[in-house]
Structure 1
Amino acid sequence: AYRALLVDVGGTLLETSQPVPQVYASFGSKYGIQADADAIKKGFKKAFSEPWPERLRYEGDGRRFWKYAVATATGCDNDDYFEELYQYFGRGDAWKLVDGAERALKDLRVQLAVVSNFDSRLRPILAELNISDVFDALVISSEIGHEKPAKEIFLTALDELGVQARDTVHVGDDPVADKQGANAVGIDAWLWKKEVKSFEEIKDRILVPTSFPK
């Protein structure tokens, strides 16, 4: 049986309150940005798929990477526009917990850690959403200097929780950063929305493992 659960944040534990391209487009209207939501989505994919020259995408507050991502997604490098977006996504109300997550996590009798590639805005966001205290550890890439799929971020989580890899499962939405990264250090991993579809299911699989095929 598992003794610990590691959870990815963006796209797993948290969703944006409104679709990201929609937010970019609505904020952008006063700066004359014409790009529609689909074009912004494509630009975003490009920004995230290109190799980033620095060792970390999210260094400290992550501004350098996000400035590049916003400019690539929208074609606009206006500082005021970027700052509005950056501040908005640093607020708790820009995000929401996925349905059932808080209740399921509180019902789980295992060690819990967030393991996230994120910048320094994450702690305040989780605090505003009143979810920080549910976790025994928050392991954030910008704080430890390693990003998933690097083994160091997963090993830090194991160390902070005081558990072994074999007793731990990680849930995230990225096949490389989450699944391959966790598996590389001997941690089982379930892909969010593919192998597990709700936090209730995660809870059941941990508490009653015999009911589920390996």
Structure 2
Amino acid sequence: MAVARLRSAAARVRPALAGAIGERRLLGTAAAAAEVTTDAAAAVAAGVSRWEPMGAREYYDYRRAIYGDITHKAILVDAAGTLLAPTEPMAQVYRTIGQKYGVEYSEDEILMRYRRAYAQPWGRSRLRYVNDGRPFWQHIVSSSTGCSDLQYFEEVYQYYTTEKAWHLCDPDAGRVFQALRRAGVKTAVVSNFDTRLRPLLQALKCDQWFDAVAVSAEVGFHFKNLPKISMCTAAY
């Protein structure tokens, strides 16, 4: 049986993994990909010619065989930069839309001004996004481009509500999250974002991958201020 041979292989590779486990970090879908790579290596070592589907119980036992008591019951992922990424550079979008409103700054100038504006404190709280985040983003757009035209801001704001503005960082993310859920692992998005996140996840057809979605603008907290929440980020 494939599972038995995988467990046997796990017993052989476990000592080599022991030193690295202490340094392992949850990296959202990247972690799942890393674990799949490890699993595949164990399968090859065990002489398994092809990957065979496991039930939730078998998967749990197999993970314990490799990692001992280190198992993950839940995976939390950030949205921007981990699950989603902008389709085009922000400065390019600001400039392209802004040309008809008289924006003359170059993309480099817009980016420099954006970074400067974004780094400034926003009120007395670290929470930048409240509800739809419009006051904050209106300040950022006007500071970045020198254009305070409300129609321009609305066009930029609405653009980032559409699936055209975003893409999945990993095109295989859906298969990974669905496999995790079948294995009994709870999945959630925990992100500092405004209220556009939920409709955006729906537009990208990935909202069904998660058991829960927590948005800072909805709960009134900047999540990195909460030590009990383990933020999981990844570089793509």
1:137 aligns to 2:212 (yes or no)? yes
Correspondence for 2:129: 58
1:77 aligns to 2:148 (yes or no)? yes
Please give the secondary structure, in 2, of the residue aligned with 1:87: helix
CA radius of gyration, larger in: 2
Cα distance, 1:152 vs. partner? 7.6
1:95 aligns to 2:166 (yes or no)? yes
TM-score normalised by the chain length of structure 2: 0.65
Identity %: 42
Distance in 2 separating the partners of 1:135 and 1:144:
18
Q: More strand by proportion, 1 or 2? A: 1
1:38 to 101, 108, 121: 108
Which amino acid is the alignment partner of residue 95 of structure 1? Answer: W
Cα distance, 1:137 vs. partner? 0.4
Cα distance, 1:53 vs. partner? 0.8
Cα distance, 1:153 vs. partner? 8.2
1:74-130 Cα shifts (integer Å, max 9, x gaps): 111111110000011011221111122222222223111101111111110000111
Contact 1:92 1:124 in 2 (8 A): no
Distance in 1 separating the partners of 2:167 and 2:197:
13
Distance in 1 separating the partners of 2:128 and 2:177:
29
Please give the secondary structure, in 1, of the residue aligned with 2:231: strand
Please give the secondary structure, in 1, of the residue aligned with 2:137: helix
Change in 2 beyond 3 A, CA 1:122/1:153: farther
Aligned residues between the structures: 161
Correspondence for 1:188: none
1:49 to 100, 119, 128: 119
Contact 2:224 2:231 in 1 (8 A): no
Please give the secondary structure, in 2, of the residue aligned with 1:171: coil
Contact 1:144 1:153 in 2 (8 A): no
Cα distance, 1:148 vs. partner? 2.5
Distance in 2 separating the partners of 1:128 and 1:47:
29
What's the RMSD between the two structures over aligned residues?
1.6
1:161-181 Cα shifts (integer Å, max 9, x gaps): xxxxxxxx6322xxxxxxxxx
Change in 2 beyond 3 A, CA 1:153/1:77: farther
Contact 1:141 1:153 in 2 (8 A): no
1:117-157 Cα shifts (integer Å, max 9, x gaps): 11111110000111111000000001100012121883xxx
Cα distance, 1:28 vs. partner? 0.6
